[in-house]
């Protein structure tokens, strides 16, 4: 039988959506006649990204709790009840064989109702510090796929399988050479290249830092490939020059990674998994504004294995130049970081997650 029915939920950010889409793609490859339905939060980016990937999606009226007392928080219980009822109807009508949650608010009501209908549930946790939705759902799940060691702090040990995070297939088998990658950005092969990535929307604090340090990079004879994010492109495009390439968004990440000698990045779970595959020296500047400060914890998990360097936003002005120069001057340090981070890569994560789903189907 291969006409299974899979229901998936994950959203709010790309970090939850892209893993869910990657899992669906792998399932579709193995079961071409299967049916798929995604469930997301009504006004979040999954409502656009999932249909673009070719899947149907239903929206729930759900959002997270705000940190301070607001009118939105007073609506929260009503949204939860409304979402649970809607999720129950969706499960009843779709009759899934398996429910898969990758985190984010919408996966809470959906997986709770799937479990109540005796549908086996699989969770995928991307971060080293588990998200609140997955922690609440852990008791209902049959299997919990994780990307870091030590996750029994959050989940029942017997349910945990370390698979890694799904990464895009084009990053697993890169076909482009360094020479081609540099040419595609019109960069000089004689100079070292630093790639700056602050997430798809950009990161204000990283952009401010890079703008301030352009002369410093120039003094070191380093060229910069800078994804500043679409929110900030108008503000920073004036810095474009032969040795500074400013882009709103890099759509061929495999080229950018190949061109880079060193990378400065946020520490979202998806970025960390991609950077492990690349095996390049990385300087992480985690966002302090995310739930449970999970980016700092993701970066610390690598730093503890001597596989990356971590700088806090609050100390950038004091320590950035010294830290960067230490790293760029030491070939040995770059090689050690590159080898250690590559040692943490789990390139077959998506296949392993789907292997776990298959065990439950059988």
Annotated binding-site residue? 250 = yes
25, containing H or E segment: helix 14-30
Longest Cα–Cα distance of the chain, Å, equals 64
**Helix or strand holding residue 116 (H, E):** helix 107-116
219 in a known ligand binding site = no
5 is in an annotated binding site: no
DSSP for residue 186: T
CB contact set of 313 (below 8 Å; sequence gap of 6+): 205, 285, 286, 287, 288
* Residue 168 annotated as lining a ligand binding site: yes
Buried b (16+ CB within 10 A) or exposed e, 242-274: ebbbbbbebeebbbbbbbbbbbbbbbbbbbbbb
Q: How many whole angstroms separate alpha carbon 173 and alpha carbon 77?
A: 46
Q: Is 322 known to sit in a ligand binding site?
A: no
> Residue 56 and residue 60: Cα distance in Å, rounded?
14
| Separation of alpha carbons 117 and 94, rounded Å | 12
Structure tokens at 257: 């990674």
Q: Cα(185)–Cα(191) distance, rounded to whole angstroms?
A: 13
- Is 139 assigned a ligand-binding role in the annotation? no
Q: How many angstroms separate the CA atoms of 250 and 254, rounded?
A: 10
Binding residues for UDP-N-acetyl-alpha-D-glucosamine: 13-15, 127, 168, 200, 250, 295
Binding residues: 13-15, 127, 168, 200, 250, 295
């Amino acid at each position: 039988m291969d006409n299974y029915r899979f229901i998936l939920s994950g959203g709010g950010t790309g970090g939850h959506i892209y893993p869910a889409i990657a899992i669906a793609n792998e399932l579709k490859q193995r079961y071409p006649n299967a049916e798929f339905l995604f469930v997301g939060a009504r006004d979040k980016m999954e409502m656009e990204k999932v249909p673009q990937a070719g899947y149907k999606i239903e929206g729930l009226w759900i959002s997270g709790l705000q940190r301070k007392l607001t009118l939105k928080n007073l609506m929260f219980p009503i949204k939860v009840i409304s979402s649970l009822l809607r999720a129950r109807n969706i499960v009843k009508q779709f009759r899934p064989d398996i429910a898969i949650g990758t985190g984010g608010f919408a996966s809470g009501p959906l997986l709770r109702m799937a479990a109540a209908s005796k549908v086996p549930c699989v969770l995928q946790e991307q971060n080293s510090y588990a998200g609140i939705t997955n922690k609440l759902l852990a008791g209902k799940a049959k299997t919990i796929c994780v990307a870091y060691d030590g996750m029994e702090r959050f989940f029942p040990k017997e349910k945990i399988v370390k698979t890694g995070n799904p990464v895009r297939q084009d990053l697993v088998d890169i076909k482009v050479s360094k020479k081609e990658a540099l040419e595609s950005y019109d960069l000089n092969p004689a100079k070292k290249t630093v790639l700056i990535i602050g997430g798809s929307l950009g990161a204000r604090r990283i952009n401010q830092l890079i703008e301030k340090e352009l002369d410093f990079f120039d003094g070191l004879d380093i060229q910069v490939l800078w994804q500043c994010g679409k929110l900030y492109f108008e503000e920073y495009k004036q810095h474009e020059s032969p040795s500074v390439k400013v882009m709103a968004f890099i759509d061929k990440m495999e080229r950018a990674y190949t061109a880079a000698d060193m990378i400065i990045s946020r520490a979202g779970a998806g970025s960390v998994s991609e950077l492990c595959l690349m095996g390049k020296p990385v300087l992480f500047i985690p966002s302090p504004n995310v739930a449970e400060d999970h980016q700092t914890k993701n970066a610390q998990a690598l730093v503890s294995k001597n596989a990356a360097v971590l700088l806090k936003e609050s100390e950038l002005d004091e320590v950035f130049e010294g830290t960067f120069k230490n790293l760029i001057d030491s070939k040995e340090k770059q090689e050690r970081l590159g080898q250690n981070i590559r040692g943490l890569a789990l390139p077959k994560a998506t296949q392993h997650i789907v292997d776990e789903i298959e065990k439950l189907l059988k």
